[in-house]
Structure 1
Amino acid sequence: MKKFLVLGILFALPITAYLFFASGKNNFAKLPVLTENVQDITAFESNTGDPISFKDHISVVAFFGSDLENIKGNTFNLDKKILEKYYDFDDFQFVIILPKDAKDETSAFVEEFKKISESSKWKIAYSDIDNIQEVFESFKTPHKLDESGHTPYVFIVDKDANLRGRDDDEEYGKLYGYDSRDVAELNNKMNDDVKVILAEYRLALKRNNPERKK
C-alpha cells in the first residue's frame, strides 16, 4: 500500500506542478503589446560607431540621463539581476539612451565596469535631449523624463519596435516599465517577462524552422 501511495505521489506531483505553472498569467503566452511602433534611434550616435535599431532585436531600453550616479546604480542592478542571464541570446540587446554631454563620463564608466560586468555588450545611444524626449514620448507611458533625460524605469521593445509589458498587472494594472531601483520588481516581474518574450520568439522560430533544435 505504501509503495502505491509513494508511486501515486511521484506521479501526481509533476502533473500538479505543471498545472500550477501553466496557469500563470504570462506562461507560454505572448507578452502584451502596449504601444505600437515606438520611434527608432538609428539616427543617434552610438558608442560603437554603428547605428543602433530596435528593429529585429529584443531590446531592454533605458533612459538614464547625464547623472553618472544614476547610470551606475541603475545599470548595476539591471546587469546583475536581469541582463547577464540573456546576453548570449541571439538578437537580444541592452540599449542605454543618454544625452551627448554624458558621453565622456559614460565611456570611462563602461571601461571601468568591464571588470565586474558584461558592459562590453551594452549599446549606448547619444543624442540631444529634445530628440531623446521625442523618442521617449513615442513609448506613450505614464512615466516622465527629468531635465537630464533620466527615468529609473526600463522598457522591453520587441523586434517590430513595439513596447511590451503587462496589461493586467496585479499591482499597477498596466505595467509599461520596470523600476531599476527595485530589486524585487526586477527579479520577479521583469525577469519573468523577459523570459516570456524570448520564449515567444524561440517558439516562433521553431515553428518556422522545425528542424532547428534550439
Structure 2
Amino acid sequence: MSGALDPELLALLLPEWEAATASLAAAPEERDRRRALDALRGMSAGAGIASLTAALRALDPLPKPFDAPATAAALAAHARAVAAAGHDLPFASPGPAPVRILVVDDSAMMRRLLREALSADPAFTVVAEAADGGEALTRLAEHAPDLTLLDIEMPVLDGLAVLREWALRGGGAMVVVSSAAVPGGEVAVEARRLGASAVVGKPSGAFSPDLGERQGEAIRRAARRAVGLAP
C-alpha cells in the first residue's frame, strides 16, 4: 500500500465521505444502503484509494446479515486514517455482524433462560421478545430478525399458526423450542413441514432452571445450523 495520495483531494473527500457513511449507517432499506455504497464507490475510485475501492467491491452483493452501522464506521475510520497518513493503508474490515434473534415464549422465565443460553455464543444477539403468537408476528415485521426461537403452546396464536403466517411472509429462519414438540412427534413433524429448521425440546417444566446446562448447548447448535454457521 505505497504511493502518496493528493492531500488536497483527500481533504476535499473527507466531508463527503463522512456524509455518505452516515447515510449508509442510517439507511432503513436495502435500496438506500446500495445507493450510499454506490456513492462511496465513486468517491473511492475518484480519489484513487485502492483499499477502500476493494473493500466496497467486496460488498457487492451485500452480505447477509449486513451490519450497516459497523461497516459505515469502519469505512469512515479508514478514510480518516488514510487522510492522516497521506497514503493508502490496508483495510481492516469489521467482524461479522451478530445473528439477530427474536425470542418467542409466553413464559417470562423461559425467555430469560433462552437469552442466557444464547449469550454464551458471541455470534448471537437477542433484538426482541414476544409473549404470544400475535405479538410474535408484530415483532417479526418490526425487526426482521435473522432467526426466531419459537414456542408452540401460546395464547392468541400458537406456534404452528405463527409458522403458517411466517411461511407466507418469509424472512429469517425458525427454530422451535417447545415441550409440546417432541422430536419425531406429530407437532414436530408439522413444524418441520412448515419450514422450521429444527425442533428442540424444553427441559421438564417450562420454568426449569437448568435450561442453560442441559439444553443450552442443543439450542445454540440448532440456532447456528439454522443460520448457516459452523457448529
**TM-score scaled by structure 2?**
0.29
Which of the two has greater strand per residue?
1
**TM-score scaled by structure 1?**
0.31
Larger radius of gyration: 2
Which protein, 1 or 2, shows the higher relative CO under an 8 Å CA cutoff with sep ≥ 6? Answer: 1
Which of the two has greater helix per residue?
2
